[in-house]
Structure 1
Amino acid sequence: MADTYTHKDLATLCGVSETTIKSYRRKFPGFIPVLTRGKPIRFKPEASTICLMIRDCFAKGMSVEETYKVLKENFKEIPAARPRRAQAPSHPTAAPAGVSQEYMEKFFATAGQMMQGMAGLATAQAKAEQRLRKVESVLEKLLELESRNTDTFGRLLEKKETAPEQSSAPEQPVAPKAEPETKMRARKIVNVRSPEGEVQSYSLEKPTELERPSDAFLNTPIVIKNDQDEFLGVPGRLPLSGFVEILAREAEESGVSQTYWHREGDIWIFVMTSPNGESQALYFSSTTTPRGNLVVLLERLDVNGNEASSQFLQEYFRQVKDKI
């Protein structure tokens, strides 16, 4: 349809994500005009100008209230349509004897709110059950692995007890020069001889721990810079650990398969990857504000290996901040 826009069209025009366009609609429902409500939803031509102005206001660091005033001065606000279930019937049902019409309206409104609350509770319960099933599945696998390891070590000990003389004497033919290499690799070699005389070697290695920033770095307040090179933080001086906790919670709900830290010089990078290969990498560094306060700066965001624009980074930071 000519001269109309979908969520994807508006996102491409403004250089933001579709999620950002949807957040514009939630924050300013009376300014982005809808043309058709089929799938996909299409918007009138003037929606592009309105979305661009919202994006520019947010890029300047303006709040939702300040942006609303700007839109009110430049565009006509459309009253938000009420859901059908909230509309009063054209022919109201007569109230029973002794009960006022106002009381009946309040009763039905309260009943509707209770139904909505029960629906939300059912959805939350379903999500909790899904998470519980995942935890139970992981625990079952861990118990199975533990049982296998116990059986394996039990068999190895039985073999050593049945042939004590054979397991101790043949150690001399092994070349002694291999010992320094074993120490260099920080692993332990165990030789086990079976009753038939066959020797088997097992390597016991300790897994390498993943990198992680220090507690001092994680407990430092997080900030970002706007286009005027000014530091913008979070009310309450949210530390980096709290910011990452929000990211990890959102990642779990969206199906992200892995999150981890790694370091490049003085920069710590927090990476989130999805099963379909998509990834996000956030770059953090330690710095000080003009007032001498020590902070952690979110200075870069890579999406699927490509560096995002400063406007996208600021909008990303703002969305995470709104979820506190």
Structure 2
Amino acid sequence: MSQMPLTHKRIARILGVSETTIKSYRRKFPNCIPVASKGKPIQFTEEALEVCRAIRDLFSAGFSVDETHQRLAELFKFITPPVVEEPKEEVEAVEVTLPNDYKLAMSNLAKSMVNLSLKQEQMLKKMVSIENRLQQLGLVNKASTTSPPHDPVLEEVRALAERTEELWNALACSRVEDLDVEMQDDYSEEQDSQTQKATVHRLVPLRDVISHDPPRKMFALPLLIQNNEGAYTPLVGRGNSRLTLNDFRASIMAHFVEEHCYTLRWSENNSGWQLDLLQERADVPHNICLIMAQTSTLSGSAMVIKDMTTNGHRITPDALQDFILDVYSR
């Protein structure tokens, strides 16, 4: 090496960059570029030249500041690895604006509950009055008067619940029979099997579809797809922008409406999370099942989609990417 002192200007000339660039390296990576003398001008050690050379090469390869810092810690023993801080859940702020239709429906529901309570109270008063009158006329025996009070409202609710259950069962059986007759005339056996599998989701009563959403901080994580070789590929939207789990959920809910809308159902399993996208009102549903898990990369935490099926058939990562691009092209 040359015996000339290694200053900002000297290092910049050797590496073929500007002096301002070398100074920016020191600001972005404090305590990583060793200084030999703090006089004027500042002089650096031989290790400083090698560190700056590595920073230049890593930046040219497209590495971020955090990723570059991590690689420097692996190359040079005197450099401390960067400390990665997990995002605090309290920092996340989500503003939710309820639609006017939802507010109106909730207001009407509250009024209906108040009216129902008033009518129940009136019915109970009338029943007490009728029982007292029957006792005065001697039409009620002692056994009936000593029995526990009868609640007509409770009996009516029980009868309504039993009838609702019967209607659900009758509707499910009728729907399956109708679909069997129609599919035998219009579709092949393979299409008939696929449609019947998709129809199972639509026949499940709404009270049985219970979704357990993941923690809120997971929705801010970017989405990756794992291919057959195990490599990760970012899931991108319009303009090749990287999608987060929240972006994916919002795009599905915004671009598919009416009979094509999807119902999002989350469930937790041993390997992570399962997201079922169910088209419950479509003539031929396009139900999608995604198996995903949280993982860590050089850029930070992310949600990785490990397995994908549509109507029970496994699909490739390219098919899922095409589906996302189709959503953004609507």
TM band (smaller chain): 0.3 to 0.5
Q: TM-score, with normalisation over the residues of structure 2?
A: 0.39
Higher helix share: 2
Structure showing greater Rg: 2
Q: TM-score, with normalisation over the residues of structure 1?
A: 0.39
